[in-house]
A and B are shown apart, each in its own frame.
Chain A
Amino acid sequence: MSRFLSVLVHGIWKDLPPFRLVLGLCPALAVTASANNGMGMGLSVTFVLIFSNLTISLLRNIIPDKVRIASYIVIIATLVVLVEMILQAYFFGLSQQLGIYIPLIVVNCIILGRAEAFAARNPAFLSAVDGFSVGLGFTFSLTLVGSIREILGAGTWFGIPLTGPDFEPFAFLVKAPGAFICLGLILGLMNAYGRWRGENVIQ
């Protein structure tokens, strides 16, 4: 039971993908101009993570070691194309916004990383939980970066206007440099907090 719990929560703080593992930075920087996009991307990755972990874990005794990476990529790519089609059919606006970054989930290091590090040597249910946990952390992080950039950079949150007309938005935050600055500040704050708690942090 304790193993289940530790797997369930490790993705939310200990192995938080973009901030603690510093993995999956490309989508974290590229599509977080608004909270909505960040969340959409996060949920898409979560979907792929849960099912890729589940499938790979179920097939872990069948897939020969020599072709495992190729097999994983085929499975992940299938799921990503599935997500792409579902987005196009039901969330067309979002799929236009995320554009090329949806197909690029295939090469997202988090997914292959979880497949290789966890799903390949753990039972199916636990692997799915691991995918859910890491995906949740990723979704949370991307929504956070997107929210900060959207609120300060455009004065809205999920498209809802928050600030009055007197507020002059920091327009650079919704552009590419704003992503780096925002991510850097969050990373710095998290490291400072981690150090204060006496954890091992990325130097």
Chain B
Amino acid sequence: MREIAKLVLVLGLICGISAGSLSTVRTYLADRIEQQNDLFVRGPALELLLQQPAQDILANKLIIDSPEGQALLFYIMDTGRVSGLAIETVGKGGYGGDISLMLGVNMESNQLLGLEIIKHQETPGIGAQIEKTTFRNQWRKLSTRDPVRLIAAGGTIDGISGATYSTNAVMDGTQKAISAFNNSKDQISELIQQANSADQQIE
């Protein structure tokens, strides 16, 4: 009995110390990892959507709460006004898991600037075709006022045959991004103003 207690105690102690040290390091490095993730994973997508160097956009980061959950948002300014947004959401129900994607929105024309896939684990050659430009270009210039739908549902998007789950997950993410944008337009501009005035105060 004492032997078993000793076994449990030693193993438990080792696990405890390991977990403790890892979570310490994690807290210490979390910000830096997030930064690197922004720069290398989100950066290229942001550059393509908003046509500006990633370094400039990444500083303009906001988190907004919407009924569907939190959405991550990046914005660019043009002569004192917000000219473009990129909204990142997670599309549920992909074949290989959730799909992270980013939608660009032109604030002046209320049109979509495009769609970029940030992270996915879909089957290469089938579901992974969501990355192809021919598929993603269908999002360009769609209005944020109308819901984005597949042709089968009366919309304009031609889905990928054989990859229904992947297509649906992308549509899910799109809908979340658009509704986050429409529901919290005021909240977004307010937050951006706050962020900017805070910046000015620091300066």
Residues of A at the B interface (CB closer than 8 Å) are: 59, 62-64, 66-67, 70-71, 74-75, 77-78, 81-82, 85-86, 88-90, 92-93, 96
Contacts and interface: CB of A to CB of B under 8 A. Distances in A.
B11 A92 contact: no
Given A74-B15, A89-B32, A89-B33, 12 more contacts: A59-B14, A62-B10, A64-B6, A71-B14, A74-B11, A74-B14, A74-B18, A75-B14, A85-B33, A88-B37, A93-B40, A96-B40
Interface of B: 3, 6-7, 10-11, 14-15, 18, 21-22, 25-26, 29, 32-33, 36-37, 39-40
Give 9 closest A-B pairs by Cβ, nearest first.
A78-B18, A92-B36, A89-B32, A89-B29, A88-B33, A67-B11, A89-B33, A92-B40, A67-B7
SS class of chain A's interface: helix, strand, loop or mixed?
A: helix
A182 to B, nearest CB: 25
A41 B6 CA distance: 37
25 contacts: A63-B10, A63-B14, A64-B6, A67-B7, A70-B11, A71-B10, A71-B14, A74-B14, A74-B18, A75-B14, A77-B18, A78-B22, A81-B22, A82-B22, A82-B25, A85-B33, A88-B29, A88-B33, A88-B36, A89-B32, A89-B33, A90-B32, A92-B39, A92-B40, A96-B40
Contacts of A75: 14, 18
A85 B26 contact: yes
Contact of A89 (B6, B14, B36): B36
A63 B25 CA distance: 25
A81 B25 CA distance: 10
A86 B6 CA distance: 34
Nearest to A92: B36
A26 B127 CA distance: 28
A81 B32 CA distance: 16
A63 B7 CA distance: 8
Contacts, number: 51
Contacts of B6: 64
Nearest to A76: B18
B32 to A, nearest CB: 4
Contacts of A70: 11
A64 B29 contact: no
Contacts of B26: 85
Contacts of B25: 82, 85
Nearest to B15: A74
Nearest to A95: B36
Nearest to B19: A78
Contacts of B36: 88-90, 92
Contacts of B14: 59, 63, 71, 74-75
A66 B4 CA distance: 10
Contacts of A66: 7
A86 to B, nearest CB: 7
Contacts of B37: 88, 92
B98 to A, nearest CB: 18
Q: Which of A63, A77, A85 has the most CB of B within 10 A?
A: A85
B10 A78 contact: no
A59 B14 CA distance: 10
Contact of A64 (B7, B21, B22): B7
A90 B37 CA distance: 11
B97 to A, nearest CB: 15
A96 B36 CA distance: 11
B10 A67 contact: yes
Contacts of B18: 74-75, 77-78
Nearest to B29: A89
A4 to B, nearest CB: 29
A74 B10 CA distance: 12
A88 B156 CA distance: 40
